[in-house]
């Protein structure tokens, strides 16, 4: 719950300042570079908060002041270790407010353009009027078929799940 509350707070500020996309980019880029060692440093109780603020100001001197202040709030409240979860919740809010549905398609091997062209119309019909953000991920543990996850809703049409359901029904 805490990451969602922080995400809502920074999202509201981003909307007010018309920086929703910019902050989304910051979440992605910082998330990709934020190491466990750096988080541990910022959570070290023996380092004064003022010194931690200085570290944030130096490391992130080139980013927007509001977002940098947000990072300082996280450090001051000992929540910097939640940054990745907050970013995840923020991106969910962005998609929700922009009417975007994120769809992850898992398959045993990468789907061809032709295969994607067969899948996309069905998804467009299911999520009519919404923008779709579709990504294909390879999951070798799927024996065949695909697994589709959209907005937390899983539509599993893989052979493995079919076999598992069959096995359960026989027991």
- Where along the chain do its domains lie? 2-95, 100-170
pTM: 0.76
**Other Cβ atoms closer than 10 A to 82:** 18
pLDDT at 88: 94
Question: From first to last of its 171 residues, what are the pLDDT tens digits of the chain?
Answer: 899 999 999 999 999 999 999 999 999 999 988 999 999 999 999 999 999 999 999 999 999 999 999 999 999 999 999 999 999 999 999 999 999 999 999 988 898 898 888 888 888 888 899 999 999 999 988 877 788 898 778 876 665 665 576 667 666
3-class SS at 86? Answer: helix
Helix axes 2-16 and 83-97, enclosed angle (nearest 10):
50
- Return the structure tokens found at 133: 């953000």
CATH 1.10.520.20 fits 2-95, yes or no: yes
d(CA 148, CA 128): 17
List the alpha helices (DSSP H) in the chain: 2-16, 20-33, 36-43, 49-59, 65-76, 83-97, 113-126, 159-170
């Amino acid at each position: 719950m805490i990451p969602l509350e922080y995400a809502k707070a920074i999202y509201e500020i981003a909307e007010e300042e018309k920086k929703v996309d910019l902050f989304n980019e910051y979440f992605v880029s910082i998330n990709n570079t934020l190491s466990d060692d750096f988080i541990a440093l910022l959570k070290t109780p023996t380092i004064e908060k003022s010194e931690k603020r200085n570290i944030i100001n130096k490391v992130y001197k080139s980013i927007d002041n509001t977002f940098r202040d947000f990072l300082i709030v996280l450090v001051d409240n000992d929540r910097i270790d939640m940054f990745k979860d907050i970013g995840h919740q923020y991106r969910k809010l962005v998609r929700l407010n922009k009417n975007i549905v994120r769809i992850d398609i898992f398959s045993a091997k990468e789907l061809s353009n032709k295969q994607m062209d067969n899948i996309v119309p069905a998804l467009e019909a299911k999520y009519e009027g919404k923008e779709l953000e579709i990504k294909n991920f390879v999951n070798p543990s799927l024996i065949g078929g695909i697994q589709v996850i959209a907005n937390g809703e899983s539509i599993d049409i893989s052979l493995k799940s079919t076999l598992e359901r069959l096995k359960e029904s026989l027991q």
